[in-house]
Structure 1
Amino acid sequence: MKFSREKSAGYLTNWAARLFAKAIDRRLKELGLSSGQLPVFFALGDGGAMSQKALTEIAAIEQPTMAATLSRMERDGIVARVPNPEDGRSALFSLTPSAMKKALDVRAAIAAVNADALEGLEGPDREAFLAMLRGVIANLENRLNDQP
């Protein structure tokens, strides 16, 4: 049986995700950000502070990946780390003032890439597409949460 990429939901979704990341990275480069930093950027975008553990859960990525991401973001002046007053063993991360100033530009870049990607899908078609994606995500999350 021959594998057909054009009929594989996993392959097509992965391909679309790689193209989204490439397009977003192109727009974010001038802001000193990358698509891999967006989950942290958006989680902290309201001006709050969070622990690495909380950010890992929100972003749904592995702890070592989050640690490396936060280290790079701190090095680049995007996040600041302060001791957690409630738990001396952990730190809290927040966006720096200069990163907060970039928030509107980041949102505009994301909106532009989404508009490009969804061009030609209007109204009900766009809503149906997004609903189907949410359904696929929910199915996969449920299956993964059911397994040890």
Structure 2
Amino acid sequence: MAFHKERSAGFLANQMARLFAKGLHERIRPLGLAPAQFMTLLALWDEDGLAQSELVQRLDVEQATMANTLTRMERDGLIERRANPDDGRSQAIHLTPRAKALRDPATAAARAQNEAALADFTDEERQTFLALMRRAISAMHGD
């Protein structure tokens, strides 16, 4: 049987993820943010003061990638590193006032991208679509 990419969940998921990422990047670029910075900010907006190792684990990225992202974020005035009160060998990553001020416009940009992607769906279709995606993710995680 021939391989049809239009029938491949992997191909379609990858194409959709690329289009989501491209659209989000275009929406957050005017805020001075890159996608990796946005994902890091999401984690820190949820819980400020995480260690770099905790960010690596939560975002499922390589240690070197996170180190580069944090260096850029520090340069851009989004984060500051402070001694971790619980572990003197590590540093806690804290949001600056600039990063805190970006929370509403950046999350609004993400909501707008999601809305654009799901604009042609009914409410019921949205719920079904999201539930099916969660099930596929869970199946691949082995949860």
Normalising by the residue count of structure 1, what TM-score does the alignment of the two structures yield? 0.90
What is the SS of the residue equivalent to 2:121? coil
Please tell me whether residue 140 in structure 1 is matched to residue 134 in structure 2: no
- Counterpart in the other structure of 2:114: 114
- Counterpart in the other structure of 1:35: 35
What is the SS of the residue equivalent to 1:81? strand
Q: Is the 8 A contact 1:24 1:34 kept in 2?
A: no
Superposed, 1:1-148 pairs within 5 Å as 1-46=1-46, 48-142=48-142
Structure 1 residue 135: Cα displacement: 0.8
Deviations 1:36-71 (A, max 9, x none): 222211111146210011111111222222111111
Give the Cα separation in 1 of the matches to 2:95 and 2:47: 7
Q: Is the 8 A contact 1:51 1:90 kept in 2?
A: yes
Cα RMSD after superposing both structures:
1.5
What is the SS of the residue equivalent to 1:44? helix
Structure 1 residue 73: Cα displacement: 1.2
Deviations 1:67-91 (A, max 9, x none): 1111111111111111112212111
In the alignment of these two chains, the number of paired residues is: 143
Structure 1 residue 129: Cα displacement: 0.2
Q: Structure 2, unaligned stretches of length 5 or more?
A: none
Q: Is the 8 A contact 1:80 1:94 kept in 2?
A: yes
Deviations 1:84-134 (A, max 9, x none): 122121111022111110110001101110000001111111000000111
Give the Cα separation in 1 of the matches to 2:47 and 2:83: 17
Mean Cα displacement is larger for which, 134-143 or 23-32? 134-143
What is the SS of the residue equivalent to 1:119? coil
Deviations 1:24-44 (A, max 9, x none): 111111101022222211111
Q: Structure 1, unaligned stretches of length 5 or more?
A: 144-148
Percentage of pairs with the same residue:
42
